[in-house]
Amino acid sequence: MKRVITYGTYDLLHWGHIRLLKRAKALGDYLIVALSTDEINEFKGKKAYHSYAERKMMLEAIRYVDLVIPESDWEQKRSDIVKYHVDIFAIGDDWAGKFDYLTDLCEVVYLPRTEGVSTTKIKHDLEQSSKNKKD
């Protein structure tokens, strides 16, 4: 069985996330999603709209996802790969080159992001819509 792992916050779940998870799953037989905890998001200066528990529940409902684990430390990637016997580390190509240091443990694949959609764009669009309604 070929195991794939990916990491992310998966806040404001959208079709770009689903597409990325589908492509990650297609690389192997078993997809593990390491989901950023609220604490690590705070450490990274990010604030998720949904709590970790809510984001985990949504990811577990997606047919491409076999296991959701917490990402509570930026440095846990190497130990996760060993612990879960991971063959492929998959992540969006906006991270290209940043995880090449893992190639001694597994294959690293940078997947193209879906054009025109991102959590940042959704938050920005909602903010603009809210501003326009006030004007």
DSSP 6-74: EEE---S--HHHHHHHHHHHHTSSEEEEEEEPHHHHHHTT---SS-HHHHHHHHHTSTT--EEEEE--G
Q: Which of 44, 47, 98, 121 is catalytic?
A: 44
Of the candidates 43, 46, 14, 51, the residue with the CA atom closest to the CA atom of residue 125: 14
- Among 2, 22, 25, 46, which one carries the catalytic annotation? 46
Q: Which two tokens stand for residue 81?
A: 């790969």
Mark whether 44 is an active-site residue.
yes
Answer yes or no: are the C-beta atoms of 84 and 5 closer than 8 Å: yes
The catalytic residue positions are: 44, 46
